[in-house]
Amino acid sequence: MSHNGAGVGAGSGGSPIPPTTVMYSQLQPWSQAGAPPCMEPVMGPSIPSRVGTAYETPTKHPWRPAMAYELIQVKHMPEQPVTNQLTKQCFLPKGMKTDGMIFPNLVTGFDRNPQHAARAALYTRYTSNEWYNNNMTKYSESNMNRNLSERMRNDAVRLMRETDEKATSGQRDAGRRLGERITDLTFWRNELNAELEKLIAEMSDINELQRQCGKALLDLEIPLHIAQECLFHRESRQGTEKVHDIVEKALLVESNNLRNSRDRLGGLHEKISKQALDCRGAQHLLEDDVSHKESSLGIDSMCHQLNNHSRGITYYGGIEKFDPSVSTQESWAQASSEHVRRSQAERAKLSQLRSDAQSVVNSVATTVWDFWSNTNNAFDRRSQEMAEAKNRVQLHLQKVQQELFDMEKHLFLLQKAIQDKSGPLKVAQTRLEARSHREGVELCKDHAQDRLVQEVQDIQGAVETLHHKLMEAEATHQGLLKTRCTLEVDLRNKVNALFIDREKCMSLRRSFPVSNLIKY
């Protein structure tokens, strides 16, 4: 865009500024620049635009001339504030290749260019309404600032009173809470001390209980070994004889009962052997809890006595953000209650161990004898059942043998019948073949021809039927052979199972030393 020297400004020599050192941008009219026409801001933010914008229109007025300085703005390349002061020769930055720009002054520029100064003065004046509105704005701002200041002072006074009351109330409430905490600590300390004394008084010697339970455990090994040996022998049964019968159920129940009895006695023995350690552990927990509560009681008592005039109080910045707590009020009380409960449980165990040991041993002795008798009765019943089953298998085996003999004779008769049909079939087919050599019209399909064909078909059907029956008979014969083999195997398995139950298992159970059963 081209521009005039009077509108843009030039140096003292009037030389134009090269286009490479300036930048042009669209401007608003000078009346909206925010500064009076005779003042040029050197630094700092620009003055807010004036309020008088009621007369602005999107189009220019026809009586106002268009000037070049309304449309462009010149900015120096180093991007420093461009004023008359900074663009003089003494204020130019180093390395600048061109002369500084001098903007026209609206007061002194009249002598050098009257026409330009008159136009600028006409274009940069404010109206009366703008002047009045500016005054009213200043008054409103003053009233608003005074009201705001008064409200802030009142709020500050109220806040100071509220903070004083809140601090006093908070300190009083904290002291009350500390007093309640001291009461709780004293209560639990006394409870723990009382329980500790009772636990120490209840502890006594339990070596006799250990000896009794050890002897009962040794006495259970013999019947358990016999039951397991019987189960082991019965595992050598073959085929379908390896059945989950009443004997196996009785042996499993007896073994489980013996294991449970052994576990009961073992658990009782373990309880007795560890009871001293458990009591000592409960005692250690009580002593440790009592010592911690004594320490906490001293600290909380000291904190409860502190006030604003106590010696030694000071600032600890950020201490409210540090939370070393490892428990809550409920979990703290629950922990102490748990220690007391454990000590009571240990004392109850100590007082009941002797009676429990006696009752457990007597109960074990009774159940061992009962299951032993039930298993022997099951062996007797099972032996009778297997003997009857063995006899029935032998009877069926004899019947199958007889049926096999009859079936073999029947197979022979079927084969002979099939062989007997070969002669008639040969005769009929030979006749048909011979009649096929007739000549001319003698090749007649007469009744003889039809009967020969029917005879061949009948014989072939009969032979096919006999073959089918022969195949069925052979399949039945094979089934009988398989049945005989199965019965023989079953008979052998039953004999073996009967031998195991009667000879191997019952012999062990008859020799059990009943007189040496657990007794006290």
Report helix angle 246-305 to 128-202, nearest 10: 120
pLDDT at residue 118 in the model: 54
Which residues 6+ apart lie within 8 Å of 217 measured at CB? 262, 265, 266, 269
Give the pLDDT confidence of 494-508 residue by residue, as tens digits.
899 999 888 888 888
HEC letters along 190-204: HHHHHHHHHHHHHCC
Partnered with residue 76 across adjacent β-strands are: 22
pLDDT at residue 12 in the model: 38
**In angstroms, rounded to a whole number, what is the distance separating the alpha carbons of residues 331 and 340?**
14
- Delimit the CATH 1.20.1260.80 region(s) of the chain: 177-308+328-382
pLDDT at residue 26 in the model: 37
Query: CB 51: neighbour CB atoms within 10 A?
Result: 15
Do the beta carbons of residue 256 and residue 228 sit within 8 Å?
no
Q: What is the CATH number of domain 177-308+328-382?
A: 1.20.1260.80
pLDDT at residue 220 in the model: 85
Q: Give the residue from 298, 313, 322, 308 showing the smallest Cα distance to 170.
A: 308
- What H or E segment, with its residue span, contains residue 23? strand 22-25
pTM score: 0.43
Intervals of the chain under pLDDT 50: 1-59, 61, 63, 67-72, 74, 76-87, 109-110, 514-520
pLDDT at residue 31 in the model: 39
pLDDT at residue 39 in the model: 41
Type of residue numbered 512: F
Give the pLDDT confidence of 376-396 residue by residue, as tens digits.
999 999 899 999 998 999 899
Report helix angle 329-420 to 447-499, nearest 10: 140
Q: Give the residue from 23, 36, 22, 57 showing the smallest Cα distance to 106.
A: 36
Partnered with residue 23 across adjacent β-strands are: 75
Q: Give the residue from 180, 187, 178 showing the smallest Cα distance to 300.
A: 178
**In angstroms, rounded to a whole number, what is the distance separating the alpha carbons of residues 223 and 218?**
10
pLDDT at residue 479 in the model: 87
Report helix angle 447-499 to 422-435, nearest 10: 150
